[in-house]
Amino acid sequence: MAARKRLTAEERREKIIKASMALFSEKGFTATTTKEIARSAGISESLIYSHFKDKLALYKAIINWKVEEAVPLFCGLKLDEIEDDRKLFRIIVSNFVTYYSKDLVFMRLSLFSALQDQALTRAYISGPVRHFYEFLGSYIAKRVEEGALWPVEPRVAARCLVGMVIYFIQLRDIYHDETLSDIDDSRLIENIVDIFCRGVLKD
């Protein structure tokens, strides 16, 4: 029988992160123990502490890992190459719908963090996520100044665009609202873009 391949430190770290993410999303941060994480990852509890100082450090590693994974989707837009407002908003909405609808574990985890620990919430909304909203807000402010969009508060408008995506997916896929089950992702994208553009575009 072939010997089992020994995991590298980075592979073991990723295994711990994935096991933790699943448990945190099911039980919440406070209720999940490092012993349960170790059992799920198939390692000793002491190995967790060789990679992470404590549970909070592990949670922050999850946030960083998931946000970095999503950076190309959320922040990879080149403004100079996109001259159509509707096209830009559609790309953003499509990216968020694709990302969140395939990763409900991370959405559940972010909900738990908001309810249980403000430090965890701050870890979630800082960094690339905040940078993304700054990017979108500055784009909206620029287009308002140029007269292409109605006068709106850019910070509010940026979060309204993404907020429609997040709230709908929560209702349809986490709360299982059966009245929304027939609305697939492509229909969702078109409707959100149309609603938003009707509200902010002058033409």
Query: pLDDT tens digits for 35-82?
Result: 999 999 999 999 999 999 988 888 888 877 876 776 666 555 565 567
Q: Confirm if 30 and 116 have CB atoms less than 8 A apart.
A: yes
CB 60 within 8 A of CB 101: no
- Nearest-CA neighbor of 98 among 184, 198, 195? 184
> Distance (Å, rounded) from C-alpha 113 to C-alpha 155?
23
Whole-angstrom distance, CA of residue 142 vs CA of residue 155: 12
Token reading at 97:
């719908």
What confidence tens digit (pLDDT) does each residue in 186-202 have?
999 999 999 999 999 99
∠ CA 129-104-43, rounded to 5°: 95
Domains, the chain, with CATH or none? 9-200 (1.10.357.10)
**Contact (CB, 8 A) for 107 and 174:** yes
